[in-house]
Amino acid sequence: MKSYRFLISGRVQGVFYRANVSRNAGDAGFSGYVRNLDDGRVEAVVSCEEERLAEFLALLRRGSEASRVDDIEQSATDETFSGTFVVR
């Protein structure tokens, strides 16, 4: 299992983006968190099998009805998570 960090930019704050990502990721069995950043982006961190990475990216792109994702930056991280997916 690996962990990944994503920085999502676009219209992603104040539009229920984090709530939807958290609910959908939790329902799909992912572990990690999503949080707002001061620069207007959202950070998401997940621990998952590499085979499920495309599924998680699809959740990030979908967001909420009112959101618009313009870009997603991806990097590896040493943080590991188990259990739930939460909003921080």
Domains of the chain: 1-42+52-67 (3.30.70.100)
Average of per-residue pLDDT across 77-81 = 90
Residue 26 confidence (pLDDT): 95
Question: How far, in Å, CA of 7 to CA of 70, rounded?
Answer: 11
What mean pLDDT value characterizes the chain?
Answer: 95
Task: Pick left, alpha or beta for residue 63 (phi over 0 → left; psi -120 to 50 → alpha; otherwise beta).
Answer: left
Query: How far is 76 from 45, CA to CA, in rounded Å?
Result: 9
Catalytic site positions: 18, 36
**In the structure encoding, which two tokens stand for residue 22, read together?**
């958290």
pLDDT tops 90 at residue 12: yes
How far apart (Å, rounded) are the C-alpha atoms in residues 2 and 62? Answer: 22
Report residue 66 as tokens.
Answer: 């009112």
